[in-house]
Chain A
Amino acid sequence: AQKVTQAQTEISVVEKEDVTLDCVYETRDTTYYLFWYKQPPSGELVFLIRRNSFDEQNEISGRYSWNFQKSTSSFNFTITASQVVDSAVYFCALNNAGGTSYGKLTFGQGTILTVHP
């Protein structure tokens, strides 16, 4: 079984604050992929990043950074110096590439981020 938990339902910050979105996952497989997707108020779903289970190197892309820690089964997402345009629902997702459920993609409940000017 695979499961993704995003315990933060809603986060509200003021522009320029840093914010971290938490993602905790459960899987019995050793080969898996983790993702973050963004859903802005316009409603479309946009891919942000993918990490595989063999690569724990953290990644930075502009104001976005991701911290993958297998020891705590977490894949957290940090936005530095947040901006109003970062306001969106953010989803974490998991695919067990090596297991019997390899065709499934499991999403978390989503975190609604609101950045106030």
Chain B
Amino acid sequence: EAQVTQNPRYLITVTGKKLTVTCSQNMNHEYMSWYRQDPGLGLRQIYYSMNVEVTDKGDVPEGYKVSRKEKRNFPLILESPSPNQTSLYFCASSLTAPYQPQHFGDGTRLSIL
């Protein structure tokens, strides 16, 4: 089954404790991206990757890192999480570019205390 898989689905952690949210897709997609969803603000793009080893900042990259060492994986790293990063996070992918329909993961709800 074609899918985008995020882990974990839920996480409660404390300020400053490094965490990684994994994202993996099995559709051989080149384009992958991360978003955060907050009430009243909609979805905001954090980082995107056009292909392996090619990543770029979205609209809200501060406090986040990403890497794209393999085509299928695009982890989101919070090196020193803070409470303002408490949010619902989505990973998405598409065949080659953002102008194609995006396939989204099921979301990861992060709570940082």
Whether B43 and A91, one on each chain, are in contact in the complex, defined by CB atoms closer than 8 angstroms, is yes
- Interface residues of B toward A: which range? 20 to 34
Q: Shortest beta-carbon distance, A35 to chain B, in Å?
A: 7
Stretch at the interface among B18-26, B33-41, B78-86: B33-41
Give the contacts of B72-101 with A (CB-CB under 8 A).
90, 92, 97-101
* Interface SS majority for chain A: loop
Whether B48 and A104, one on each chain, are in contact in the complex, defined by CB atoms closer than 8 angstroms, is yes
Q: How many of A's residues come within 8 Å of B, CB to CB?
A: 24
A33 to B101, CA, bound (A): 10
Stretch at the interface among A56-64, A67-75, A107-115: A107-115
Q: Which of A37, A44, A52, A103 has the most CB of B within 10 A?
A: A103
Q: Which of B56, B98, B104, B107 has the most CB of A within 10 A?
A: B98
